[in-house]
Amino acid sequence: MKTGLVDFRNGGQVPSVRLALLLLRQAVEEKADELILSLKSVSVEDDDDGELESMAAEFARRTESAARQPQAFVPTLIKAGQTNPLSAVPDHLFGPVVRVFLGLVEINYFAKGLAEGRIETKNPPSVWKLMSRDLACELRLARIWPARLPAAGPA
In a domain, 150, yes or no: no
3-state secondary structure of 3: strand
Residue ranges making up the domain that contains 105: 3-145
> Which CATH number does the domain housing residue 58 bear?
3.30.450.90
In a domain, 151, yes or no: no
In a domain, 82, yes or no: yes
In a domain, 154, yes or no: no
In a domain, 153, yes or no: no
pTM: 0.76
In a domain, 98, yes or no: yes
Residue-by-residue pLDDT tens, the chain, 155 positions: 878 888 877 766 788 999 999 999 999 999 999 999 999 887 655 545 566 666 666 666 655 444 456 788 999 999 999 999 999 899 999 999 999 999 999 998 888 889 999 999 998 999 999 999 999 999 999 999 987 555 554 54
Locate all alpha helices (DSSP H) within the chain, ordered by sequence: 15-29, 51-62, 94-104
In a domain, 152, yes or no: no
Q: Contact 15/6 with Cβ under 8 angstroms?
A: no
What is the total count of domains within the chain? 1
